[in-house]
Structure 1
Amino acid sequence: MLKAFRPVFWVCVGLFLVHQLLQKGLGIDVPFFHAYLDPFLSIPVMLGLLTVERRYLFDRGRLTVLETVISTVFLAVIFEFFFPRWSDAFTADPYDYIAYGLGGLVFYFFVNPRPRAATP
Structure 2
Amino acid sequence: MGWATGLRHPLFGAAALLYSGLYVNKHWLHWPLPPAVTSYLGDLLSLPLMLSLALAAHRLLIDRTGALPVAWLAGAWLLVASWFEVLLPLWSDQAVADPLDVLAYALGTLGFHQWLNRPPTPG
Is the Cα–Cα contact under 8 Å of residues 23 and 29 in structure 1 kept in the other structure? Answer: no
Q: Secondary structure at the match of 2:99?
A: coil
Is the Cα–Cα contact under 8 Å of residues 68 and 104 in structure 1 kept in the other structure? Answer: yes
Is the Cα–Cα contact under 8 Å of residues 47 and 77 in structure 2 kept in the other structure? Answer: yes
Is the Cα–Cα contact under 8 Å of residues 45 and 108 in structure 2 kept in the other structure? Answer: yes
Is the Cα–Cα contact under 8 Å of residues 5 and 120 in structure 2 kept in the other structure? Answer: no
**Match of 2:18?**
15
**Match of 1:26?**
29
Deviation (angstroms), 1:4: 4.4
Aligned positions of 1:47-86 closer than 5 A: 47-59=51-63, 61-86=66-91
Q: Which of 101-110 and 83-92 deviates more?
A: 83-92
Which structure 2 residue ranges, 5 or more long, are not aligned? Answer: none
Letter in 2 for 1:25: W
Give TM-score, length-normalised by structure 1.
Answer: 0.85
The answer to whether residue 92 in structure 2 is matched with residue 87 in structure 1 is yes
Q: 1:100 aligns with which of 105, 108, 119?
A: 105
Letter in 2 for 1:108: H
Two-structure CA RMSD over aligned residues (Å): 2.0
- Once residues 90 and 67 of structure 2 are traced to their aligned partners in structure 1, the CA distance between those partners, rounded to angstroms, is 33
Give TM-score, length-normalised by structure 2.
Answer: 0.83
Percent identity, aligned pairs only?
A: 34
Deviation (angstroms), 1:116: 5.3
Is the Cα–Cα contact under 8 Å of residues 43 and 100 in structure 1 kept in the other structure? Answer: yes
Letter in 2 for 1:15: L
- Once residues 73 and 27 of structure 1 are traced to their aligned partners in structure 2, the CA distance between those partners, rounded to angstroms, is 32
- Once residues 85 and 8 of structure 1 are traced to their aligned partners in structure 2, the CA distance between those partners, rounded to angstroms, is 34
- Once residues 87 and 3 of structure 1 are traced to their aligned partners in structure 2, the CA distance between those partners, rounded to angstroms, is 38
Q: Which of 4-13 and 102-111 deviates more?
A: 4-13
Flag as ranges the 4+ runs of structure 1 deviating above 3 A: 1-4
Which structure 1 residue ranges, 5 or more long, are not aligned? Answer: none
Q: How many residues align?
A: 117
